[in-house]
Amino acid sequence: MGYIAKAKAEGGKVIAGGTGDNTEGYFIQPTIIVTSDPKSVTMREEIFGPVLTVFVYEDSKVSETLTLVDETTPYALTGGIFAADRAALRQIADHLRFSAGNIYINDKSTGAVVGQQPFGGGRLSGSNDKPGASQFLHRWISARTIKENFDLNGQVSYPHQLPDNIIVQ
């Protein structure tokens, strides 16, 4: 509720929800906020609650808006892209490569399920380890190489070196 209040104080308009009840646990009604400030608190902060903030950008400013999305917050948990144009999807996904640990294209952004889809955010949203994926195991191991030589004749030779009596012209 504090974030909703801050968003309103910054000029955001609640168009759905916006109320809460703490009589038994903490309940926040699913909330949609429309803002004209792309750097408002609910656009910058990573909050875990049913709060969606919408910023409408100009069609002619797609590139600037993608940069804004990439640079506005230090968090990078989840992102969603909806478009029918495959070229636009590719452009957006490429531009936002480091903006989210999980990108959902034309799908809901709540699909991560243990054992079904790896999950993990980047930047301040985690270390992007992807629990549930095989590469997650490498987070808990320390790989090392051991080479032991059993030929104790004192000479070290390398097969790629030519003997002294061969002349290459």
pLDDT attached to residue 77: 84
Q: Give the H/E segment covering residue 54.
A: strand 51-55
pLDDT score recorded for residue 151: 74
pTM above 0.75, yes or no: no
Residue 4: Cβ within 10 Å count: 24
| Mean pLDDT per 10-residue interval, the chain, length 169 residues | 96 96 89 96 91 94 93 88 93 91 85 70 73 68 76 69 60
Class of domain 2-140: alpha beta
**pLDDT (0 to 100) of residue 51:** 95
Q: Where are the domains of the chain?
A: 2-140
Place of tokens 């999305």: 69
Task: Report the pLDDT value the prediction gives residue 7, as an integer from 0 to 100.
Answer: 97
Residue at 146: amino acid letter = I
Three-class secondary structure of residue 123 per DSSP: strand
